[in-house]
Amino acid sequence: MAGGADAVATLNPAVRALVGQPILTVVGTKRGDGSLQLNPAWFEFADGYFWLNSNRWRTWPKNVQRDGDITLAFIDASEPFRWASIRGRLADVIPDPNHEFIDGLARRYTGRAFRELRPGEERITLKIEPVSVTGEMI
């Protein structure tokens, strides 16, 4: 398990309601040169963890695997000044060779299975443990 000794954060009911919506999260990671990288992503919050999926070769999952740290930002589409920022740490990386997890995320967001994988594409699921929660109107 990567990350520091920070305690696991508990999400209050308002934050749980926000992250229960099929909205995108903005994933914040740190590149090797120290600059920030921001990427939109599908996610699921279940069992006290945030679950994300990506192509293994993308930069943001590599950043998370290197540092163990990630920040997730959520904005309520109906009330843009209602938002939450969750700092997390990597708890696990799980291969998704049969693209079962990404298919589930795609159904959550689009109502259908994920696209066909490209030749050589390898999907991974990142299990993120929430460490701290900040926000506005939450």
Residue 45 contacts residue 20 (beta carbons within 8 Å): yes
State the amino acid at position 103 in one-letter form: D
Which of 8-17, 57-66, 85-94 is the least confident region? 8-17
> What does pLDDT average to over the chain?
93
Task: Report the run of H or E that residue 52 belongs to, with start and end.
Answer: strand 49-55
75 CA to centre of own chain: 14
pLDDT of residue 120: 86
Residue 1 binned pLDDT confidence (cut-offs 50, 70, 90): very low
pLDDT at 24 over 50: yes
pLDDT of residue 137: 79
pLDDT of residue 4: 47
Residue 20 contacts residue 103 (beta carbons within 8 Å): no
pLDDT of residue 31: 97
CATH 2.30.110.10 fits 13-131, yes or no: yes
- Percentage of residues in the chain having pLDDT higher than 70: 95
State the amino acid at position 68 in one-letter form: G
Instruction: Please tell me the pTM assigned to this model.
Output: 0.91
Q: What is the DSSP-derived secondary structure letter of residue 35?
A: -
Residue 27 contacts residue 19 (beta carbons within 8 Å): no
| Helix (H/G/I), strand (E/B), else coil: 90 | strand
Burial zone of 25 (CB within 10 Å; 0-12 exposed, 13-18 middle, 19+ buried) = buried
Residue 56 contacts residue 45 (beta carbons within 8 Å): no
pLDDT of residue 13: 94
pLDDT at 3 over 70: no
Taking only the tens place, the pLDDT of each residue in 48-87 is 999 999 999 999 999 999 999 999 999 999 998 999 999 9
Domain locations in the chain as residue ranges: 13-131
Distance CA 11, CA 86 (A): 9
Give the strand pairing for 123-136 and 49-55. Answer: antiparallel
